[in-house]
A and B are shown apart, each in its own frame.
Chain A
Amino acid sequence: MSLTESQSLRVVVYEGEGSDAMNAEARFDTMTSLLEDGFAVTRTNGRQAVAPADRTSLLVLGRFPDGQAPSFDSGSDQAEVSVANIDQQEPAAITDMVRAKRESLAAFDHGAWKPWFPVIDYDRCTNCMQCLSFCLFGVYGVDDDNKLQVQNNDSCKTNCPACSRVCPEAAIMFPKYRTGPINGDRVNAADLNREKMKIDISSLLGGDVYQMLRDRSEKAKSRFSKERNPDKALNERKKCLTKLAKAGDIPEEVLMSLPEPDEIQRRAEEAAAKAEAAIEANAKNN
């Protein structure tokens, strides 16, 4: 989902001329409360540069003597400006008031989704399309110039960094991952053995990862039909998936939520075809 056309709200804690400054503790508590609730907040005393206004609605908060706020000009004719006196108000009450303002504007409510998605380092990416052919969830695609793109952030499986582990150039980051270089830390020579990592993952399952998943699942199915023991089949699949989870640091719940073998195959083939087409097109253009 893009916010390009959505309404959003920017909170400004104003402590310039015509207002009384907050004490540091109250300022910290207010900022923290608002940030934890997903708001973008600007603190300004009017003497130093802050980001300029754009079309975003502004809610100016301040401690105004006798409740008389100075008039504010955002400098943007697109931005709606409203003002609220927060003198004597506790941070929680301030946040409630700001939340109500957000609702009245029908502005975007942040935080409903943990922002887990791949970020491409195009200084490193060679457009090899390994990630595109690996991902079963349609996160990747190519642009009009057949350059790799992240197209569906929302389809990415939370906490799964598997595609970054198959990237031979360590070009895929998940900034909220715990360790480097996937978290954006610098890439060292050892990290460039990503191709090796990919082979390791494959060889762990005796070849193509998805093929192995399919085979295992088929075996489990056939065993199920012979033995009529669903628990055994499920355990077999779990064993295989646990190995894969360890090798790729893929959350078990992601693996366990994989679709049925036929659907895995269909998606894998579709992704591989997309990748192949993009590689061919790039080869022609170069």
Chain B
Amino acid sequence: MANDTRVLFCNCTYAQVVPQSTKEGVLRKLCESEVSFDAVADLCEMSARNDPALKRLADEGPVKVVACFPRAVKWLFSAGQAPLNREQTQVINMRTDSVEEASAALFADELTPNLPEDNRPPLAGSETKETS
């Protein structure tokens, strides 16, 4: 992974919607690697609280966000007054991806932007998989 690409891991601490085994598996892989990363307890809480930390997490260059659905992540940051840069953000979805899929996307050299395009609501089945 390129040195200027940041990693942000969401632990989704306050709900059980991300499979525990996926969450733990991905965090374990991160901890076993040499990669520096930011981890937060729960992006939803940060968004709901307008946590200024969202801004520092969104602002600085390319980022891989390991969390949940890209559409949710896009609008959580937006609601928290810290919109993500679509061209520089890849969301890895731990609700749908396995540990292996998520880790492969996370440690890949390239960043594949996959936030939904502005004002172009996608319909499922009309585009390629968005998760990783």
Contact = CB atoms under 8 A, between A and B. Distances in A.
Contacts of A82: none
A176 B15 contact: yes
Most buried by A among B38, B70, B71: B71
Interface in A38-79: 38-56
Interface in B52-90: 52-53, 55-57, 59-61, 68-73, 75-76, 78-79
Given A111-B41, A111-B45, A184 B72 contact: yes
A38 B44 CA distance: 12
Nearest to B44: A115
A3 B6 contact: no
A1 B50 CA distance: 8
Interface in A110-149: 110-111, 113-115, 117, 119-124
A47 B13 CA distance: 28
Nearest to B96: A185
Interface residues of A, dominant DSSP: loop
A281 interface: no
B37 A43 contact: yes
Q: By CB atoms of chain A within 10 A, which of B14, B47, B57, B95 has the most?
A: B14
A8 interface: yes
B71 A121 contact: yes
Given A28-B27, A120-B79, A121-B75, A186 B41 contact: no
A55 B3 contact: no
A50 B37 contact: yes
A104 interface: no
B55 A123 contact: no
Contact of B130 (A49, A114, A186): A186
Chain B contact-residue range equals: 35 or more
B36 A45 contact: yes
B34 A45 contact: yes
A123 B56 contact: no
Given A31-B31, A32-B27, A175-B44, A122 B124 contact: no
Nearest to A36: B13
A24 interface: yes
Nearest to B73: A184
Contacts of A124: 121
B31 A119 contact: no
A178 interface: yes
Interface in B6-45: 6, 8, 11-15, 17, 24, 27-28, 30-32, 34-42, 44-45
Given A111-B14, A123-B120, A186-B130, A35 B75 contact: no
A36 B11 contact: yes
15 contacts: A3-B51, A8-B52, A8-B53, A36-B11, A51-B38, A54-B52, A108-B49, A115-B14, A115-B42, A119-B79, A121-B121, A173-B71, A184-B75, A187-B122, A188-B124
Interface of B: 3-6, 8, 11-15, 17, 24, 27-28, 30-32, 34-42, 44-45, 47-53, 55-57, 59-61, 68-73, 75-76, 78-79, 95, 116-125, 130
